[in-house]
Structure 1
């Protein structure tokens, strides 16, 4: 292995170490606790080394969010059901489980302010993949409706449920009924003109 290859590998490992440390600290104490100073201490590198990888905390949160979207895409893909089970329900359950089990990661992806160009052609592939899995889940129930708009509605519904559940603003005993109603509403096909 050449010296250049070794340096590139070590740089990539340091880069990932910083991301992992940020995620760990955020899971333990929340994103407000994630500072470049604390991260530098945690990974045992100086702040200038940290800044050689990331311009600041926002860039770190962005990197965490992109990696998280890749993880979400893999979870949604893994949750694709066998025949006879609703793909929409499987995606909804996988999405909500992801949000519930990885709250700081979910927060980085969809709550924290990040400079990711959602809804544009410049969106990172990991986010494209996650949204593509939601599109695939919605496609069987789309009817005559615009697929991407219906998927955005599905995603918005799941995000609302995830965020309000995490904030303890919904009645826990009604989770299944809420999910059933949401999926039922999305599954309706257009039955009247003008709808």
Structure 2
């Protein structure tokens, strides 16, 4: 291994450490607790080292969001692969999505509520975000119904799931009715 390859590997490892530490700190104390000074202390590097990887907190949030998008896509695909039939795949997708939001609140917040400097639904949208949407589209496109654009249907269904996840987390929807909401959403929107 060349010196340059070793340095690139070490740089990538430091970036992973910064992102993992930011994520852990945000999950335990919230995003307000994530500062470059606190991250530098936790990973035992100087703030200039942090800034050599990320221009600031916004880019760190973006990196956490991209990591989360990849994890959510994998969770949705795993859940839908284990389901039999289109309707069951949609139920599995909805549960996987909502479970991800509950298990990873700070990551979910980074993905959809904080400004991580990421473009959505544009040509320069990062691949992990495109793939997360594709994971939803794979199962939802087949239940959109005749004459309904699969992408538009997926956006609408996703918006409903996001609303449910966000409102439940904020205490505005009682979590004990999640299953009934999922059933209503699947029964009313999907055509199978």
Q: CA deviation at 1:173?
A: 2.4
Deviations 1:42-81 (A, max 9, x none): 1100000000000000010001101110111111111113
Which 4+ stretches in 1 moved above 3 angstroms? none
* Structure 1 equivalent of residue 148 of structure 2: 145
Tell which deviates more after alignment, 12-21 or 109-118.
109-118
Give the paired residue count: 189
Provide the secondary structure at the position in 2 that maps to 1:86. Answer: helix
User: What is the RMSD computed on CA atoms of the aligned residues?
Assistant: 1.2
Partner of 2:184: 181
Distance 2:83 2:21 in 1: 37
- TM-score, normalised by the number of residues in structure 2: 0.95
Unaligned runs of 5+ in 2: none
> Which residue pairs with 2:65 in the alignment?
65
Deviation, 1:19, is 0.3
With normalisation by structure 1, the TM-score equals: 0.93
Q: How does 1:48-59 map to 2 (within 5 A)?
A: 48-59=48-59
Q: Following TM superposition, by how much is the alpha carbon of 1:172 offset from its aligned partner in structure 2, in angstroms?
A: 2.4
Q: CA deviation at 1:140?
A: 1.8
CA distance in 1, matches of 2:26, 2:177: 29
For residue 159 of structure 2, what is the aligned residue in structure 1? 156
Unpaired segments of 5 or more residues in structure 1? Answer: 190-195
- What residue in structure 2 maps to residue 129 of structure 1? 131
Deviation at 1:184, TM superposition (A): 1.4
Distance (whole Å) between structure 2 residues aligned to residue 13 and residue 29 of structure 1: 24
What does residue range 4-83 of structure 1 map to in structure 2 within 5 Å? 4-80=4-80, 81-83=82-84
Question: Hey, what's the Cα distance between the residues in 2 that align with 1:172 and 1:106?
Answer: 17
Structure 1 residue 163: Cα displacement: 0.6
How far residue 28 of structure 1 moved from its aligned partner, in angstroms, is 0.7
C-alpha distance in 2 between matches for 1:101 and 1:57: 22
